[in-house]
């Protein structure tokens, strides 16, 4: 059967981008449908009625939502170029850091980005504590997955992709050379991988997009 793979995403969302990376790593051909999130398509609402959010993967007419669930689906469906190690313990370790990224690192960095004053300071402190744990994980390793990119790299890839954008907008360094040499080396290494590099949204466009998002949050 000819496979039909569609991905509903937006051009700037890290949750959509991580799925782009996973599909590219697996070498899966897919149609990309960019959603305008201020005017969601009937298809998006129909395919993800619970959250009405991107990303949604539609595979042979069946839709799967939630990026971490989509990751596992991709891994279960196409076994080649595995995103997860074989060993159950190493698999659990990767899943632990994937979850830590979304549960802890992402909210703290997002707060550091959209808050001001004392709230921002607290968020930066929290972000730094979280990032220190990632720094430790990366010591002596090229990627979270070891020599090869794995699920934790894809799930945490937004750090490489967006933190420099956030830092430029708020005029403050969060991931600095002194505290985070391994993390910075990883960010650089990750961004240079061909399939990652080719799908990286333009920095200038991201600056405009996230500056506007920050302004909207601050105006609330």
Give the residue with the Cβ less far from a copy of itself, 99 or 217.
99
- Tell me how far apart the alpha carbons of residues 128 and 172 are, in angstroms, rounded to a whole number: 13
Q: Provide DSSP, 118-136.
A: HHHHHHHHHHHHHHHHHHH
Give the residue with the Cβ less far from a copy of itself, 61 or 140.
61
For the chain, how many residues are written?
Answer: 220
CB of 166 to a copy of itself, least distance (A): 23
CB of 52 to a copy of itself, least distance (A): 13
74, 57 Cβ separation under 8 angstroms: yes
Give the residue with the Cβ less far from a copy of itself, 90 or 209.
90
65, 50 Cβ separation under 8 angstroms: yes
CB of 152 to a copy of itself, least distance (A): 12
Give the residue with the Cβ less far from a copy of itself, 45 or 133.
133
Exposed e or buried b per residue across 136-165, where buried means at least 16 C-beta atoms within 10 angstroms of its C-beta: ebbeeebbbbeeebbbbbbbbbbbbbbbbb
Cross-strand bridge partners of residue 92: none
Interface ranges with a copy of itself (CB under 8 A): 50, 59, 62, 64-66, 68-70, 72-73, 76-77, 88-89, 91-92, 95-96, 99-100, 133
Residue with tokens 């990751």: 71
Name the 3-class secondary structure at 146.
Answer: strand
CB of 77 to a copy of itself, least distance (A): 5
Q: Please name the residues in contact with 191: beta carbons below 8 A apart, sequence gap of 6 or more.
A: 160, 161, 197, 200
CB of 95 to a copy of itself, least distance (A): 5
Give the residue with the Cβ less far from a copy of itself, 39 or 139.
139
CB of 27 to a copy of itself, least distance (A): 17
Give the residue with the Cβ less far from a copy of itself, 16 or 164.
16
């Amino acid at each position: 059967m000819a496979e039909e793979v569609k991905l509903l995403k937006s051009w700037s969302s890290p949750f959509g981008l991580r799925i782009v990376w996973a599909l590219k790593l697996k070498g899966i051909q897919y149609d990309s449908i960019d959603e305008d999130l201020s005017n969601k398509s009937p298809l998006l609402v129909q395919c993800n009625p619970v959250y009405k959010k991107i990303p949604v993967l539609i595979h042979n007419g069946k839709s799967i939502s939630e990026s971490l669930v989509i990751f596992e689906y991709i891994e279960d469906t196409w076994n080649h170029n595995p995103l997860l190690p074989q060993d159950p313990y190493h698999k659990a370790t990767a899943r632990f850091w994937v979850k830590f990224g979304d549960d802890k690192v992402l909210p703290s960095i997002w707060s550091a980005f959209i808050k001001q004053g004392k709230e921002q300071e607290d968020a930066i402190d929290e972000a730094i504590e979280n990032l220190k744990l990632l720094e430790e994980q990366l010591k002596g390793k090229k990627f979270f997955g070891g020599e090869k990119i794995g699920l934790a790299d894809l799930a945490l890839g937004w750090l490489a992709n967006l933190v420099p954008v956030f830092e430029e907008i708020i005029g403050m360094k969060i991931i600095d050379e002194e505290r985070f040499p391994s993390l910075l080396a990883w960010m650089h290494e990750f961004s240079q991988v061909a399939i990652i590099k080719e799908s990286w949204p333009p920095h200038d466009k991201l600056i405009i997009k996230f500056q506007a998002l920050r302004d909207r949050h601050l105006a609330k």
